[in-house]
Structure 1
Amino acid sequence: MIKFSAQTQAEAPTADAPAEHIAPLPRVSIQAFCESADTAAAMEATVADRRMSKAHVKVQMGGVVAAGDAYRNSPTPNVIVIESEGNGDQLLAGLDSLSSVCDPGTRVIVLGKINDILFYRELVRRQISDYLLTPIEPIDFIRSLSNLFGSPDAKPVGRMIAVAGAKGGVGASTVAHNISWALARSLSIDTVVADLDLPFGTAGLDYNQDPPQGVADAVFAPERVDTAFIDRLLSKCTDHLSLLAAPATLERVYDFDPEAFDAIMDVLRSTIPCTVLDVPHVWSGWTRRMLVGADDILLVAAPDLANLRNVKNMIDLLRAQRPNDNRPHYCLNQVGVPKRPEIKAADFAKALEFEPACIIPFDPQLFGTAANNGQMVAEVSAGHKINGMFNQLAQALSGRGEVKRQRQSGLAPILNKLMRRSA
């Protein structure tokens, strides 16, 4: 039986609003039968969204008549999408004909222009899974599909937060680990830190843990990856915080295919409310995939020109790859090193056209003590203002708070010259 789930269309997230958590789709087949070119284009646009990476989507023209003809002698996919620009009686008759050839369990989504409660009730009576008014936005369609394969009464679990440095040595891992601590201790969210820097990861040191197993055991044995296996690899740090540690050894070379971590991420997303990915500063297929696939992204940068260039390049790429998501956050770290020339935060924001989520001052005593003792900033000095900054970042990245940003225009001439892309 097809389960009906009412869907209210909403606008795509703005740059300054917290991103809506829409769960990625499982490996399902979707076939759409459109009647207008605009709707077909919107369907095609959904394929590029990160949440649709596992779904197989086919878009064709013809509406409900073409759908009925297509499935008379062939099995139906997991989801059929029907667009109708005609009157309600024609569509209902076509749906009745289509129901005679649909396999059990096939979901049907209808797209149309009729905004009438009686027509809507007729669709409900026919057990249509969802009805969306046209014209539609890709994010509305993705939300509808996501709701079909999740419990309509439960908030989706599995928020993925990726933290990466714009340059090596900017303290991205330290920021990631302290944010994870804040998520677990201050917000009481069950959180896993996944240290993806397999040869040089520092999460084990920072949390004073030395687990015998970790992420390498999973990535090199994908056939064993399931919930129970991942649970055995986790090292418990606090009541709400666990660690999936990196081996931090050099006996082997860690070269991976882009999909190497997919099985691990699927298990974490399905079982853990929040996972923080400590992404190393390398640019490869799998690190790019981790960033593009995350629900929220934080880029950590030091206040110099190379970091500014790298942050801009990364934000530009990620916004292009994630058209239906909020732009990544960025924060400035190690600000105020004595006698070091720095780009001011205001100039950084002017070049990127939005404010940093946080500006973390240089404090070698605080961070050095924490690192050498295997502690977090909150353990060294709970009342320190920097600890408050990590709590603020945790709230924003978890969707429980909003990072206020002010859009500015224009680039300083020298920055414009250095970062201008060749035609």
Structure 2
Amino acid sequence: MNAPFHPRGTAAREPFAAFVCDEATAEALRPIASEMGWQPEKVTRGGLRNAVQTLAVSASPSILFVDMSESGDPLNDINALAEVCEPGTIVIAAGQVNDVRLYRDLVSSGIQDYLLKPFNADQVREAIAHAQLTLAGPRVGVEVPSERAHAMIAVIGVRGGVGCSTIASSLGWLLGEAEGRSTALLDLDVHFGSAALAFDVEPGRGLTDAIDNPGRIDGLFIERAMVKATPKLSLLSAEAPLNHPLVTDGSAFFQLQEELRGAFEMTVLDLPRHMLIQHPHLLHDAQAVVLVVEMTLAGARDTIRMLSWFKANVPGVAVLLLANRVAGSAAEISRKEFEESIERKIDLCMPYDPKLVAQAAKLGKPVAEVGKAGKTTSPLIDLARRCTVIADGAGGASKEKASAKSLIDLFGELRSKLPARKPKPKAK
């Protein structure tokens, strides 16, 4: 609802509408509407419930004023309003509940401002002026710098429970806060996703709305649906009811990727492995895949299968193998045996640190933020840097720069191309 102004999307909209609960509030708003050049008849009775019913069958105004005084459950009612309110509408709410927590929850839900009744005319004018400033242009920090191309990094677990979402949330945080890239974290586990839990935020309804109504997905929808986790990181996830099956042909996911490409520099895609079977196109635009593995017999078998799938379906993508929860000699099979079975090296190993993971969960922060520069998180920092190199390579750098190979690998290839040295003659 707080999406920035887009002239083509609002040409047929009314500039203002208000739904109030009492005549005193209506009498306070009508003179201000006349001052702004708006029709005072747009101030009507009925409150939030009437607003939901009216906007379900008519276009949303640019600025919407709703009175919540008669609402028994303000948050649920605002969510109902969000379902019928078109992206790009600025919502100003008013009510009689003086609660800081309610105010924060309303703002998180997309409300621009909340006025405590009774309010005076100057407060209304100030709120409307703030709304008009938001409509006047795009928000600061949304535009992607033109010199940087967008890059998508997919994080996939080779087995269930290997910590794929833990890696994805930490990678998104590092790309945003450590590497300074505007980043979107897209968690496609619609029913059991944990991206919102990792940052202690509400997942919102954006992802489920997108799947149910792919035609609504555009830049304004993305701006409204994304949940701000940090100044540089926004996430889109869901906790859909278990009686709400996922029914989609994949067009919603494709459209989401298209819009995220235009709004962010990086997209981290937390992708459940079973979705590769139903929607293989999800990786067609990815620059890299982080395959999170476990050093077990089943993990080795599925890693071989996944690597074969990548080679056949997305041969140009850079695949980085990250072994998570490495417990030294306690592993089911050794690193050497694992690498021999899959016929390639593991790129990164993350030690098993249950205390750090538990602390991060309690604080509602990603592991990379809680662990800082410790031994456990250093592989994550290395991973973020490699992904940044790959992202820069997507903007026109050479493939060698984006291959994420180590210097040892490069020197090994160079030495193999050099002619063998002739043996020195023995001294007489």
Scaled by the length of structure 1, the TM-score of the pair is 0.56
* Percent identity of paired positions between Structure 1 and Structure 2: 32
CA distance in structure 2 between the partners assigned to 1:309 and 1:155 by the alignment: 41
Give the corresponding residue for 1:168.
Answer: 160
**Does the 8 Å CA contact 1:158/1:274 hold for their aligned counterparts?**
yes
Give the corresponding residue for 2:320.
Answer: 329
Unaligned runs of 5+ in 2: 1-144, 391-401, 413-428
CA distance in structure 1 between the partners assigned to 2:409 and 2:333 by the alignment: 18
| Structure with more contact order per residue of length (Cα contacts < 8 Å, sep ≥ 6) | 1
Say if 2:224 is the partner of 1:232. yes
**Does the 8 Å CA contact 2:179/2:388 hold for their aligned counterparts?**
no
Give the corresponding residue for 1:197.
Answer: 189
Say if 2:170 is the partner of 1:178. yes
**Higher gyration radius (CA):** 2
Aligned-pair CA distance for 1:328: 1.4
Aligned-pair CA distance for 1:350: 2.3
Aligned-pair CA distance for 1:381: 2.6
**Does the 8 Å CA contact 1:184/1:191 hold for their aligned counterparts?**
yes
Deviation string 1:148-192 (CA, Å, 9 cap, x unpaired) is: xxxxx9445321111010010000010011011110111011001
CA distance in structure 1 between the partners assigned to 2:248 and 2:260 by the alignment: 19
Unaligned runs of 5+ in 1: 1-152, 409-423
Give the corresponding residue for 1:374.
Answer: 364
**Does the 8 Å CA contact 2:204/2:238 hold for their aligned counterparts?**
no
Give the corresponding residue for 2:256.
Answer: 264
For residue 157 of structure 1, the aligned residue among 149, 153, 161 is 149
Say if 2:202 is the partner of 1:223. no
AA matched with 2:176: A
DSSP 3-state at the match of 1:299: strand
Aligned residues, how many? Answer: 254
Instruction: Choose 297-306 or 367-376, whichever is displaced more.
Output: 367-376
**Does the 8 Å CA contact 1:258/1:285 hold for their aligned counterparts?**
no
CA distance in structure 2 between the partners assigned to 1:260 and 1:250 by the alignment: 20
AA matched with 2:327: G
**Does the 8 Å CA contact 1:162/1:277 hold for their aligned counterparts?**
yes
CA distance in structure 1 between the partners assigned to 2:331 and 2:188 by the alignment: 32
CA distance in structure 2 between the partners assigned to 1:286 and 1:202 by the alignment: 21
Instruction: Choose 285-294 or 159-168, whichever is displaced more.
Output: 285-294
AA matched with 1:310: D
Give the corresponding residue for 2:347.
Answer: 357
**Does the 8 Å CA contact 2:190/2:239 hold for their aligned counterparts?**
yes
DSSP 3-state at the match of 1:228: helix
Aligned-residue CA RMSD in angstroms?
Answer: 2.4
CA distance in structure 2 between the partners assigned to 1:221 and 1:308 by the alignment: 39
CA distance in structure 1 between the partners assigned to 2:287 and 2:300 by the alignment: 23
DSSP 3-state at the match of 1:399: helix
**Does the 8 Å CA contact 1:198/1:249 hold for their aligned counterparts?**
no
**Does the 8 Å CA contact 1:301/1:307 hold for their aligned counterparts?**
yes
DSSP 3-state at the match of 1:350: helix
**Does the 8 Å CA contact 2:149/2:265 hold for their aligned counterparts?**
yes
Give the corresponding residue for 2:337.
Answer: 347
- Alignment of structure 1 residues 121-160 onto 2, 5 Å: 154-155=146-147, 157-160=149-152
AA matched with 2:293: A
- Alignment of structure 1 residues 2-401 onto 2, 5 Å: 154-155=146-147, 157-323=149-315, 325-336=316-327, 340-399=330-389
| Greater fraction of residues in helix | 2
Scaled by the length of structure 2, the TM-score of the pair is 0.55
In structure 2, relative to structure 1, the CA distance for the partners of 1:240 and 1:327 (3 Å cut) is closer
CA distance in structure 2 between the partners assigned to 1:285 and 1:309 by the alignment: 17
Aligned-pair CA distance for 1:292: 3.9
Aligned-pair CA distance for 1:288: 2.6
Aligned-pair CA distance for 1:391: 1.2
DSSP 3-state at the match of 1:343: coil
Q: Which runs of at least 4 in structure 1 moved beyond 6 Å after TM superposition?
A: none
